[in-house]
Amino acid sequence: MISKIVRYASAHKWLSVFVICGILLEVAYTMVSPLSLKYMIDEAFTPKNAALFVLILTIMLASGLISVGAGIGGDYSLSRLSGHIVERIRSGLFGQMQKQAPEFFAGYRSGDMITRFTSDISAMERLISFSFPYTLKEGIGGVVGLALLFQLQWKLTLAMIGGTLLVFIGPRLLQGRAERFNRQVKEEQERFANTIDEHLKGYKTIRGLALQAVMKQRAHAHIRSLFTLGLRQSLTNSLLERLPVTGLLGLNGIMLGYGGYLIFQDELSIGSFVAFLTLFMSFGTSVSNLAMVLPLVIEAKVSYSRIDEVMRHRPSVEEPEQPVALPPVSREIRYEGVSFGYTDDAAALSDIELNIPAGSLTAFVGPSGSGKSTALELLLRFYDPKRGRITLDGVDLRDVGEAELRGQMSVVFQDTFLFNDTIRHNLLAGADTATEADMIRAAREAAIHETILKWKNGYDTVITGQGGSLSGGQRQRLSIARALIRRPSILLLDEATSALDPATEADINELITGMKGQRTIVMVTHRLSSAQQANPIVVFKDGQVVEAGSHEELLGRDGLYREMWDKQNGFTLSGDGFHAKIDGKRLSRLPFLQGIDMEALESVSSLFASEAYVSGQTIVREGDEGDKLYIIVRGTVAITRGGEKVATLQDGDYFGEIALLRNIPRTATVTAVEPTTVLSLRRSGFTELTNQYPQLRETVESTLLSRLK
Ligand SMILES: Nc1ncnc2c1ncn2[C@@H]1O[C@H](COP(=O)(O)OP(=O)(O)OP(=O)(O)O)[C@@H](O)[C@H]1O
């Protein structure tokens, strides 16, 4: 920690020199003034030498003035120097954080990082602007004072050193505990910050599901723990400060007794004794001041190690040493034998061979977890392949600098992240060379220009709550405009429309399709209706590409694409996405309804009711009574068992079918992870219908009960 601070300080040589000179002059004055007392008493007062008295007094006054001037100059230089160093640590930490790959952000929660930027950096700031110079000043003062004390009376000084050792033993013994408590307080602060962060981000879910009491309980537990840990920390810290001061009191007693004895033995003059006492007092003050600084140094040491942990984190994706230029892609993007895994033992992608022609609209589709988003994130160079390479017109992505790459590619995610700023600043942020005309052109392309003009302040309208004041479609159009403003040759979209209502999704899909031919577009979607216009459509399964071709080609192949298409079709959905219907033909494709008459199936279809869930809402809770079958018309749900996620289901998937026959408690919890519309069928209605169509009951029983066994 110290060597790093010294290195930072050495970048500001003159300021460092001023700080050190200021400290040295102040120390010199503190040391010399007790000595002048000795000469004043022994050489001027005792022999009544008025001329020497005036001379010594003048020297004392002059050096006092110099010391004050040096102190003020030193303080000014120190403020500037510590400001520069803290500035460097702050921007270094920020830069380091920005360089990291997504797995870094998955490892740190926002509270962890915010605490490093706030309280940890403040602890470093206190160390640099106060503890460090203070230690230097008191340390030099102590050493010089000791030398002078030896020179005045070595026996008395030796006795004093023996006593001083006692002063240090207590703090030394307590230091380990103090470090531990400091670390625990920091960690607890981090956890509390994370809870507050969750509360801020998840306030809708918390209110919607009446989770306030749970959150309050959690916050209260942190507050209690902060109280207990804080108490331990401050008790240990105050003990650390108090012990040396108490030790010094005893030491004072010894000094007075032994010093008096030496005077009676004529081994010490009165002037020397007064000088010794004054010097000893300032030496003692230096020692106790050093001990007082110790808790601050310990705190800074803990904070430094936490900052250093981030600073040492090597980004998994590194900048090339000699980046190559990347002209707009004009031929193709190629995946050549690309394999990748987030961990060493699980492969997310295996041996992907893919050719994406420049100017094409390509779609990556496939079931949840099949690797399509990973394939896109490799193209964004959020990660590097473990084997193989991705090339743009033959240039390996690893040879291209980050800025160059981002100049060529823009991305739109499902979660639109907008800054709390004006529309203008949101659109132009980072696009340094973009003009007003570019902004309007991009907004027009994203079909949002007219809407913006209708707002009272037009492009100067301030977006609040990270875009919460806008509709989902408006947010997504703004994100698309923001991506287009840089005129990227490659536009990437990761489930950019899947959380929107059907009408808005169709509008934005039309917009994307309209851009075909102007640039290379790669979109990831689990909804095949969004991918229909793309060519090639690349189908992923278990980390591999299993099919690729146009919509018509893939439908004709009877493979996974056909299977997914059949699964996702057969529903009608209102434009707002709240009301759905399923037709008999679609029902006939459910494994437990196969072979049933169409008339019976049409009757079953009329019994289904629509249910719409917002993101985060629970559809079915583990252990609850099971009385309904659900079919997901649109959306994504997470299946968790005992708090652990076991699967993700999407459009066309179903769950809870056993409930049609028996009231068996639900074996898992199902939660919507994006706005989700389901169709539900109650057991009571279904049972009534089976009286009319006995075949229905027999078929369902034979398929589902065999599974139960
Ligand atoms: N950050 C991560 N850390 C560890 N494993 C991950 C991470 N992201 C994805 N995976 C795993 O990698 C595999 C591929 O995930 P990926 O997100 O690419 O699939 P996907 O087809 O896009 O599915 P979805 O649409 O559900 O996101 C899955 O097994 C997933 O669990």
Tell me, using a 6 A CB cutoff, whether residue 635 lines ligand 1.
Answer: no
Looking at the fold, whether 493 and 352 belong to one and the same domain comes out as yes
Q: Whose CA is nearest to atom 31 of ligand 1?
A: 369
Tell me, using a 6 A CB cutoff, whether residue 366 lines ligand 1.
Answer: yes
Domain boundary among 229, 251, 267: 267
Dig out the tokens for 132 from the structure.
């460090």
pLDDT of residue 360: 93
* Eight-class DSSP state of 117: I
Distance 348 CA to ligand 1 centre (A): 7
Asked whether residue 214 is domain-assigned, the answer is yes
pLDDT of residue 152: 84
* Eight-class DSSP state of 557: T
**Spatial distance between the Cα atoms of 299 and 233, rounded to a whole number of angstroms:** 10
Distance 687 CA to ligand 1 centre (A): 40
Tell me, using a 6 A CB cutoff, whether residue 348 lines ligand 1.
Answer: yes
Q: Whose CA is nearest to atom 2 of ligand 1?
A: 342
**Ligand 1 atom nearest to 106, measured from its CA:** 1
* Contact indicator for 488, 410 with CB cutoff of 8 Å: yes
**Ligand 1 atom nearest to 370, measured from its CA:** 21
> Residue 91: which region, alpha, beta or left (left: phi > 0; alpha: psi -120 to 50)?
alpha
* Contact indicator for 447, 477 with CB cutoff of 8 Å: yes
Tell me, using a 6 A CB cutoff, whether residue 676 lines ligand 1.
Answer: no
203-209 long-range Cβ contacts below 8 angstroms, 24+ apart: 204/614, 204/616, 205/615, 205/616, 205/617, 208/614, 208/616, 208/617, 209/616, 209/617, 209/618
**Spatial distance between the Cα atoms of 647 and 635, rounded to a whole number of angstroms:** 14
Residue the block writes with tokens 């992923």: 540
pLDDT of residue 544: 95
Distance 371 CA to ligand 1 centre (A): 6
Tell me, using a 6 A CB cutoff, whether residue 371 lines ligand 1.
Answer: yes
Q: Whose CA is nearest to atom 28 of ligand 1?
A: 369
Run of H or E residues at 201: helix 154-201
Tell me, using a 6 A CB cutoff, whether residue 325 lines ligand 1.
Answer: no
Q: Whose CA is nearest to atom 4 of ligand 1?
A: 342
* Contact indicator for 596, 588 with CB cutoff of 8 Å: yes
Looking at the fold, whether 621 and 541 belong to one and the same domain comes out as no
Distance 339 CA to ligand 1 centre (A): 14
pLDDT of residue 120: 92
**Ligand 1 atom nearest to 343, measured from its CA:** 4
CATH code for the domain of 501: 3.40.50.300
**Ligand 1 atom nearest to 377, measured from its CA:** 18
102-132 pLDDT, tens digit each:
888 888 888 888 999 998 999 999 998 888 8
Asked whether residue 481 is domain-assigned, the answer is yes
Distance 346 CA to ligand 1 centre (A): 11
Torsions phi, psi of 427, nearest 5?
A: -75, -40
Asked whether residue 515 is domain-assigned, the answer is yes
Domain boundary among 214, 245, 267: 267
Distance 414 CA to ligand 1 centre (A): 15
Tell me, using a 6 A CB cutoff, whether residue 373 lines ligand 1.
Answer: yes
The C-alpha angle 196, 198, 199, rounded to 5 degrees, equals 60
Looking at the fold, whether 391 and 518 belong to one and the same domain comes out as yes
Distance 369 CA to ligand 1 centre (A): 5
Looking at the fold, whether 486 and 512 belong to one and the same domain comes out as yes
Domain boundary among 245, 267, 289: 267
Distance 504 CA to ligand 1 centre (A): 26
In terms of Cα–Cα distance, which of 522, 422, 402 is closest to 482? 422
Tell me, using a 6 A CB cutoff, whether residue 126 lines ligand 1.
Answer: no
Asked whether residue 509 is domain-assigned, the answer is yes
**Spatial distance between the Cα atoms of 25 and 592, rounded to a whole number of angstroms:** 91
| Sheet with 654-655, edge to edge strand ranges | 609-613, 676-682, 628-634, 654-655
Q: Whose CA is nearest to atom 3 of ligand 1?
A: 342
318-372 pLDDT, tens digit each:
888 898 988 888 899 999 999 999 888 888 999 999 999 999 999 999 998 899 9
Distance 36 CA to ligand 1 centre (A): 77
**Spatial distance between the Cα atoms of 497 and 525, rounded to a whole number of angstroms:** 8
53-60 long-range Cβ contacts below 8 angstroms, 24+ apart: 60/33, 60/36
Looking at the fold, whether 575 and 547 belong to one and the same domain comes out as no
pLDDT of residue 460: 92
Looking at the fold, whether 448 and 553 belong to one and the same domain comes out as yes
Burial class from Cβ neighbours inside 10 Å (0-12, 13-18, 19+) for residue 376 reads buried
Tell me, using a 6 A CB cutoff, whether residue 648 lines ligand 1.
Answer: yes
Looking at the fold, whether 340 and 486 belong to one and the same domain comes out as yes
Looking at the fold, whether 458 and 592 belong to one and the same domain comes out as no
- In this prediction, the residues of the chain whose per-residue pLDDT falls under 50 are none
**What is the maximal distance between C-alpha atoms in the chain?**
130
Q: Whose CA is nearest to atom 7 of ligand 1?
A: 342
Asked whether residue 235 is domain-assigned, the answer is yes
Residues forming a β-bridge with 26: none
Looking at the fold, whether 509 and 619 belong to one and the same domain comes out as no
Tell me, using a 6 A CB cutoff, whether residue 649 lines ligand 1.
Answer: no
In terms of Cα–Cα distance, which of 582, 482, 494, 491 is closest to 530? 494
Tell me, using a 6 A CB cutoff, whether residue 93 lines ligand 1.
Answer: no
Q: Which domain holds residue 174?
A: 154-267
Looking at the fold, whether 405 and 496 belong to one and the same domain comes out as yes
Run of H or E residues at 677: strand 676-682
pLDDT of residue 501: 81
Looking at the fold, whether 205 and 243 belong to one and the same domain comes out as yes
**Ligand 1 atom nearest to 648, measured from its CA:** 26
Asked whether residue 690 is domain-assigned, the answer is yes
How does strand 395-396 pair with strand 409-412?
A: unpaired
Tell me, using a 6 A CB cutoff, whether residue 372 lines ligand 1.
Answer: yes
Distance 535 CA to ligand 1 centre (A): 24
Asked whether residue 606 is domain-assigned, the answer is yes
Asked whether residue 123 is domain-assigned, the answer is no
Looking at the fold, whether 702 and 634 belong to one and the same domain comes out as yes
pLDDT of residue 287: 77
Question: What is the torsional sign of CA 16, 22, 28, 31?
Answer: negative
The C-alpha angle 411, 414, 415, rounded to 5 degrees, equals 100
Is the ipTM reported for this complex over the cut 0.85? Answer: yes
Tell me, using a 6 A CB cutoff, whether residue 106 lines ligand 1.
Answer: yes
Q: How many domains does the chain have?
A: 3
